Amino acid sequence: MNIYASQDIRNVAVAGHGHCGKSTLVEALLFTAGAIPAMGHVDDGTAVTVYDEEDVARRTTLSNAVAHCEWNEIKVNLIDTPGSNAFVQEARAAMLPVELAIVVVDAAQGVEPMTQRVWSYAQEFNLPRVVAVNRIDRERADPLTALDALRQIFGRQVAAVQLPMGSEGGLRGVVDLVSMRAYEYAAEDKGRGREVPIPPELAEQAQSAHEALVELVAEGKDALMEEFFEKGTIPEEDLIPALHEAIREDRIFPVLFVSGMAQVGCDRLLEFLRIYAPAPSEREPVAAVAGPAVAQGNGKAEHNGTPRSGNWPVEMVTRPVSDAEPLALFCFKTLSDPFAGQISFFKVFSGCVHTDDTVANFTQNATERLAHLSVMQGKRAIEVRELHAGDIGAVPKLKNTRTCDTLGEKTHPVYYEPVKQPEPVLAFAIEARTRADEDKLANAMHRIMEEDTLVRFYRDPQTQEFLRAGGGQQHIETVVSRLRRRYHTEVTLQAPRIPYRETIRARAEGHGRHKKQSGGHGQFGDCKIRIEPLERGAGIEFVNQIFGGAIPKNFIPAVEKGIRDAAERGFLAGYPLVDFRSTVYDGSYHDVDSNEISFRIAGRLALRACMDLARPALLEPILHVEIQTPEAFAGAVMGDLNGRRGRVLGMDSSGAGQTVIQAEVPMAEMLTYGVDLTAMTQGQGSFHAEADHYDFLPAALQEKVVAASRQLAHATAADEE
């Protein structure tokens, strides 16, 4: 494997809607460049970037996969990204370590929901975009209609730099509108086109498209416009650097036409990347924070709510992508391989890294040795001796490194901001089927979370259930399948219990007396309390109004503890009782028999006596939900929210035909919302939800919840007997 300097590297994310042929296109690029001896297939697991057992079973890419090839003295690093709604957030994470995004569009389907999603991800990172209209040889393919749709949605900056020669079964090749040369392909060419004259029937169309491209490139550049008006065109030697600059500045989004399966146009796409794609050193440096260590006191710091330790950076820097700068690596992906163990994928943001280097992990305050430095070809590691600034590599078996960690030269601490992942939109209760599965579950889930940053695994403190949260039902089902296939752990999924709470609506008084005599010292505790409701979120307040020593001061904390014990167990359905003030105002004691236990029991009895008169009620959790959907589906989404007992707070336009809806919706109505929203919006909608407050559950629903809770309690008691 040759070693490449920054100016000879091209880092590219291949993104688009699911099943638009991304993985097949990557396979064709690798084959055309000679990186693989023959093209594999997505369906049988022989494709380079579709190797995980879940990817093969579902015939699609579920996580980012890295491959590379060499082409005309450059190295092209390709990141194949998922395109299905449940996994497309992976594509967003792939935008940080690359300098260009190839947005793949199916020639028969045109612009699809995830096409717009991945386009917005690239836009968020100010990433140049190239569109590859793929599958132009398939039945019903209409490349020029797809081009028109791209222009209509993404603007007139979308410009064809090629034209297809034929379509469907009659596809022969492509015309390059920059050089005005045509390339024809045959099966025996192995993806390498032969230069031929432009067909006469395309000559006029090609000339018109060439002039439109030249005019668009010249816009905004006075010298080019003058040359264009003077000569009526721009010579190729001037057009190439001008187009390169326009792509780098996001002024033009070029469109190329390819067929991955037929290997048509793949060599032209590689050559286009060589000439026009920005090298790592050409892009604006990624901002980082760096500076003196903050290992003072306990050495802890917090960043975006996440505790960090050790050499925590404090100053903003923009370190150039250069070998002369101190070493800095950013781990953008972690893979758990059953044989190789954990593999960490990284981008060399600055400096030069060598195999067996010892580096500092600034995020974890640890030291790592980079043994077996490699570049990845799918799941196959190819060892290299060094990698230069801008390159992408991998290293196995790092002990302390996780996804989004920054590593580098110990004396120059730096931290690159990770790509912030959205919060999970759906959670299920997860339960191991056997005791053996239970012993393996925690370790298996920990390894999956290292690989997939959108996965959450935690115990609900109220319901005591283990919850598995993710990006949607399909995402969660994939994790369950991985647990079974990879870690031999069988689990069952159930909808999580809603963490209801109980409260009171009225003021009430109660008397609690505990008296027990069994020879010798007995037990005696007696108290009178008053409870009254508080506003939502106030919790539990305790007030002592004992005067004259009716209850000794040393027993008052026991009364409070008893009240809190009873509140934790609930009254209506076993959910915690909250948002009330309890006041102890009278009582009595015995000089010999009174003790803390007796008054603790008396406090519990007093609270339960109050509840019969305090009009107890159930509170349900309310989520604040932000939904993004195309304008065409906004009415259906709001109607659905009303049917879920939701309250729409507002609606705004976010541009590009998108509407953002803010609403408050009961958690009980949102358990399957991800699936329902996908169906309502044809996969184009997304949402984020977070806990906001509690509110009263309607009486009719309260009766059902109470009945179900009591039935469950009886069934549990019967099982214990």
The pLDDT value given to residue 582: 96
Backbone angles phi and psi of 211, in degrees to 5: -65, -40
Backbone angles phi and psi of 534, in degrees to 5: -120, 170
- Tell me if residue 382 falls in helix, strand or coil: strand
Under 8 Å between Cβ of 237 and 219: no
- Tell me if residue 578 falls in helix, strand or coil: coil
Q: Give the torsion sign (CA, 515, 582, 705, 500).
A: negative
CB atoms closer than 10 angstroms to residue 256: 23
* DSSP code for 86: T
Indicate which CATH number applies to the domain containing 344: 2.40.30.10
Point out the domain boundary residue: 453, 473, 494: 494
Same domain flag for 119 and 184: yes
The pLDDT value given to residue 302: 41
Q: Terminus-to-terminus CA distance in the chain, angstroms?
A: 69
Point out the domain boundary residue: 231, 251, 282: 282
In the predicted model, is pLDDT for residue 25 greater than 70? yes
Q: Which domain holds residue 549?
A: 501-614
The pLDDT value given to residue 540: 95
Q: What single-letter amino acid sits at 152?
A: Q
User: Cβ-count burial of 550 within 10 angstroms (0-12 exposed, 13-18 middle, 19+ buried)?
Assistant: middle
Under 8 Å between Cβ of 28 and 39: yes
* DSSP code for 236: H
Same domain flag for 384 and 435: no
Q: Give the torsion sign (CA, 446, 448, 449, 450).
A: positive
CB atoms closer than 10 angstroms to residue 580: 24
Under 8 Å between Cβ of 296 and 308: no
The pLDDT value given to residue 458: 77
Same domain flag for 36 and 109: yes
**Alpha helices (runs of H) in 419-548, residue ranges in sequence order:** 435-451, 473-487
Q: What percent of the chain has pLDDT over 90?
A: 57
The pLDDT value given to residue 304: 38
The pLDDT value given to residue 292: 44
Name the helix (H) or strand (E) containing 335.
Answer: strand 328-337
User: In which band, very low, low, confident or very high, does the pLDDT at 293 lie, cut at 50, 70 and 90?
Assistant: very low
Summarize pLDDT for 36-54 with one digit per residue, the tens: 999 988 877 789 999 888 8
Please check whether residue 706 lies inside any domain of the structure.
no
Q: What single-letter amino acid sits at 390?
A: G
In the predicted model, is pLDDT for residue 280 greater than 60? yes
DSSP per-residue letters across 512-534: EEEEE-SSSS-EEEEEEEEEEE-
The pLDDT value given to residue 464: 75
Indicate which CATH number applies to the domain containing 57: 3.40.50.300
Under 8 Å between Cβ of 164 and 138: no
The pLDDT value given to residue 654: 63
CA-wise closest residue to 99 among 249, 251, 223: 249
- Residue carrying the six token digits 């490349």: 143
Please check whether residue 422 lies inside any domain of the structure.
no
Helix orientation angle between 200-218 and 222-231, rounded to the nearest 10 degrees? 140
Under 8 Å between Cβ of 115 and 105: yes
In the predicted model, is pLDDT for residue 674 greater than 50? yes
- Report the alpha-carbon angle 84-402-450, nearest 5: 50
Please check whether residue 710 lies inside any domain of the structure.
no
CA-wise closest residue to 30 among 85, 67, 55: 67
> Measured between alpha carbons, how far is 697 from 703 in angstroms, rounded to an integer?
10
Under 8 Å between Cβ of 362 and 406: yes
Mean pLDDT score across all residues of the chain: 88
Point out the domain boundary residue: 467, 494, 521: 494
Same domain flag for 439 and 507: no
Average pLDDT over residues 369-396: 95
Please check whether residue 637 lies inside any domain of the structure.
yes
CA-wise closest residue to 198 among 166, 167, 168: 166
For the ranges 299-313, 428-442, 485-499, 502-516, the lowest mean pLDDT is seen at 299-313
Q: How distant, in Å, are the alpha carbons of 14, 173, 184, 187, 558 from that of 263?
A: 17, 10, 11, 8, 79
Under 8 Å between Cβ of 625 and 640: no
> Measured between alpha carbons, how far is 505 from 503 in angstroms, rounded to an integer?
7
Under 8 Å between Cβ of 459 and 465: yes
In the predicted model, is pLDDT for residue 137 greater than 50? yes
In the predicted model, is pLDDT for residue 184 greater than 80? yes
User: Cβ-count burial of 356 within 10 angstroms (0-12 exposed, 13-18 middle, 19+ buried)?
Assistant: exposed
Please check whether residue 694 lies inside any domain of the structure.
yes
User: In which band, very low, low, confident or very high, does the pLDDT at 690 lie, cut at 50, 70 and 90?
Assistant: confident
Please check whether residue 421 lies inside any domain of the structure.
no
Average pLDDT over residues 4-9: 96
Same domain flag for 103 and 215: yes
Indicate which CATH number applies to the domain containing 655: 3.30.70.240
Under 8 Å between Cβ of 645 and 593: no
* DSSP code for 404: T
> Measured between alpha carbons, how far is 562 from 606 in angstroms, rounded to an integer?
9
Same domain flag for 25 and 150: yes
Tokens of 583: 């006041």
What does the longest C-alpha to C-alpha distance in the chain come to? 116
Same domain flag for 267 and 331: no
Q: What percent of the chain has pLDDT over 70?
A: 93
Q: What single-letter amino acid sits at 411?
A: T
User: Cβ-count burial of 171 within 10 angstroms (0-12 exposed, 13-18 middle, 19+ buried)?
Assistant: buried
Q: What is the pTM of this model?
A: 0.77
> Measured between alpha carbons, how far is 443 from 43 in angstroms, rounded to an integer?
31
The pLDDT value given to residue 165: 93
- Report the alpha-carbon angle 420-422-423, nearest 5: 125
Please check whether residue 210 lies inside any domain of the structure.
yes
Under 8 Å between Cβ of 165 and 199: yes
Q: How distant, in Å, are the alpha carbons of 100, 268, 693 from that of 157?
A: 16, 21, 46
Under 8 Å between Cβ of 127 and 98: yes
> Measured between alpha carbons, how far is 362 from 313 in angstroms, rounded to an integer?
8
Same domain flag for 678 and 692: yes
> Measured between alpha carbons, how far is 531 from 512 in angstroms, rounded to an integer?
13
Q: Edge to edge, what strands does the sheet with 162-165 contain?
A: 162-165, 173-176, 181-184, 194-196
- Residue carrying the six token digits 């060399």: 348
Same domain flag for 519 and 595: yes
Summarize pLDDT for 545-573 with one digit per residue, the tens: 998 889 999 999 999 999 999 999 999 98
Domains in the chain, number: 5
User: In which band, very low, low, confident or very high, does the pLDDT at 159 lie, cut at 50, 70 and 90?
Assistant: very high
Same domain flag for 467 and 487: yes
Same domain flag for 408 and 437: no
